């Protein structure tokens, strides 16, 4: 019953954010891997890198670079948020518990990880509806093409840049964008 109530609350929070014409990622509440509701408003004042992740993808090794980026900049105000998704080739088949165990044991992930969601299609999570909406985010909108697409969000919850999967977390492009957002 507690799980059902939590899921209903998350669904209502998602719907409310979209129905009100969300203008910031801070308007969404997401469920963490351990089942707790996390208002993204908790990250106000921080720069966020929002990434759709998968455990069995050719880009899964990027967890290592994402963790290193997080460690390098977290004390300056960067938070990474991982959103597992099984939209591309069934590359994230595990449960939330399995995903969490994999990320910790294989890559030492300590950044916030969230419950598995859909980032594409008719069941796309409202957060990703917002992130990919060309009206809300004209410079960064458009459908997610694959795992490890990265959205850089400023301290006010506005999407400021998008990086496609092939752009490595330790690339000069991402580091320069993070540095600029942290200033």
Dihedral of CA 110/54/33/80: which sign? Answer: positive
State the Cα–Cα distance between residues 123 and 132, nearest whole angstrom. Answer: 14
Quickly count: other Cβ atoms within 10 Å of residue 75's Cβ.
7
State the Cα–Cα distance between residues 14 and 18, nearest whole angstrom. Answer: 6
Nearest to 119 by CA among 51, 37, 25: 51
Give the active site residue among 9, 13, 57, 103: 57
103 counts as catalytic: no
Please identify which residue in the block is written with the tokens 């299609």.
121
State the Cα–Cα distance between residues 180 and 183, nearest whole angstrom. Answer: 5
- Residue 59: strand pairing partners: none
Using CB atoms within 10 Å of the CB of residue 1, give its burial: 0 to 12 exposed, 13 to 18 middle, 19+ buried.
exposed
By annotation, the residues acting in catalysis are: 57
């Amino acid at each position: 019953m507690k799980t059902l109530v939590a899921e209903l609350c998350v669904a209502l929070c998602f719907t409310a954010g979209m129905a009100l014409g969300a203008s910031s990622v801070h308007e969404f509440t997401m469920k963490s891997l351990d089942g707790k509701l996390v208002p993204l408003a908790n990250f106000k004042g921080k720069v966020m890198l929002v990434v759709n992740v998968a455990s069995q993808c050719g880009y899964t090794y990027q967890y290592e670079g994402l963790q290193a980026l997080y460690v390098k900049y977290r004390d300056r105000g960067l938070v990474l948020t991982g959103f597992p998704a099984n939209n591309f080739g069934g590359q994230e088949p595990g449960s939330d518990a399995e995903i969490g165990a994999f990320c910790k044991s294989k890559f030492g992930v300590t950044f916030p990880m969230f419950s598995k969601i859909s980032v594409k299609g008719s069941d796309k999570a409202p957060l990703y509806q917002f992130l990919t909406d060309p009206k809300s985010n004209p410079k960064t909108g458009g459908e997610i093409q694959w795992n490890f697409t990265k959205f850089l969000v400023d301290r006010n919850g506005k999407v400021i840049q998008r990086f496609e999967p092939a752009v490595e977390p330790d690339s000069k492009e991402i580091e320069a964008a993070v540095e600029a957002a942290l200033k």
